[in-house]
Amino acid sequence: MKQLLSERFYTYWADAEHSWTVRMTIKMRDSIDRTMMCEAVAATRQRYPYYGVRMQKTIGDNSFEYYALEENTLSWVVMPTQQPALLLSAESNYHLLAFSCWDDCIAIDFFHALTDGTGAYNVLRTLMYEYCRRRYDSQLSREGIRVAGDDVNPDEWVDPASLPRPENLDVLTVPPMPRPINLMNESVVPVQDAVETVYVQVSEEQMMQYVKTRDTSPATLISLMLDRAIARLHPDCDDAAPTVALAINQRPALGTPLASVSLASALRLPLTREVQQMADDLQETVFRGMVVLQSNADNVVDKFWMTNDRMDQLERIPTIAGRHQAMSGAYQQAIENITCVMSYVGKANFGAAERYICDLCTEVWTPYAITIELSAAGGQFSISWMQRLSSDAYLDAFIAELHRQGLDATIAWRRPLVVA
């Protein structure tokens, strides 16, 4: 049994209104064979014993309540429809992740406290290998893919919050941030409770050629494009700036590159009035500089331990219900500190199975007016635009910004958000 450490933030925030669940959907080139899919899921499960868990309430030596993860011997669930299983319930065999398959699609749903995009990509790579070698090619190459039968590296089990806290960090000073535009209160269009996913695609080749030419990265570029789009709709906002929170992987900075737990943090990238007046290439330089500064290893480590300290303080409250209540203000604090969120795990790298994949879509429960999840697979660079907005004013401005840079972005589909 493992007492929660790095998992605590999302666990104590999550409730009936804030699920903090993620869905990644792969569209295949052919219809899904459900029998083979179930076999592939069972084989994948063998490679990731640390994800075969259930969450339990325990009582500590101090008589305080805590959550802990314990082994769950029940199978991972594969739903036969697009509708996901309810996680941490009988429907999902009380697991923190589950799968679905329908038509030509395969999906994984997971609770963000269990892992993040980096961890989920590892599971998906294994799943795609196991499925495609059954469906298409029994001799499919496994190069670069974790598979059942591997020796599981002990470092995959490590939670950096259980390691000694580093000393003498060289934390770089980050300049004061302007007040972010709060789209939940300041949007130029009405905000709504319902979340819509709009799936935008750009050729992966075209996107990578652009970022290579401009010496930037997809995540930095899209963050800037999003800030610009918001700025265009708030031309008279002098006391605040559009501010994207760009998710990053903390593992390299923490020295735990193989860790399986959820280790995502965020950088804050404001587009100030001063920077808005600069040429496009200078804006890109400014954003690269902000990313380099805030992703300095010691800054990332310091932020990780600050969050850990806050969770330690939270656990001075003796009951789990009390901690959930104490976290109830996190929503308001979140929407006041940033304008929107952007996340890009990186290219999916499905190996030999990639030839059978059309694209990858990532959706996430989000408290923000706008959230973007980027994915790259099957030759497509995909932008999942999730909005709590009643019209497409911000989406149209964002796509126009991509077009202005010569990127042929098109809307492939749109529908209500689907997450567990």
* Residue carrying structure tokens 């689907």: 418
The helix/strand/coil state of 267 is strand
Q: Which amino acid is it at 373?
A: E
Say what the pLDDT of residue 1 is.
Answer: 83
Superfamily classification of domain 183-416: Nonribosomal peptide synthetase, condensation domain (3.30.559.30)
Predicted local confidence at residue 242, as pLDDT:
98
| 255: pLDDT strictly greater than 90 | yes
- Considering the domain delimited by 2-148, tell me its CATH architecture: 2-Layer Sandwich (3.30)
Query: How many residues does this entry show for the chain?
Result: 420
Per-residue pLDDT reduced to its tens digit, 320-366? 999 999 998 887 888 889 999 999 999 999 999 999 999 999 999 98
Which structure tokens are listed for 13? 């925030």
pLDDT digits (tens, 9 = 90+) for 378-389: 999 999 999 999
Report the SS3 class of residue 113.
coil
pLDDT bracket for residue 121 (50, 70, 90)? very high
Token pair in block for residue 34: 């459900």
**205-243 pLDDT, tens digit each:** 999 999 999 889 999 999 999 999 999 999 999 899 999
pLDDT at 2: 85
The two domains 2-148 and 183-416 share their CATH topology (first three levels equal)? yes
Domains of the chain, by residue range, sit at 2-148, 183-416
Please give the span between the terminal C-alpha atoms of the chain, in angstroms, as a whole number: 25
Confidence of residue 15 (pLDDT cuts 50, 70, 90): confident
Kindly tell me the burial class for residue 232, based on how many C-beta atoms sit within 10 Å of its own C-beta (0-12, 13-18, 19 or more): middle
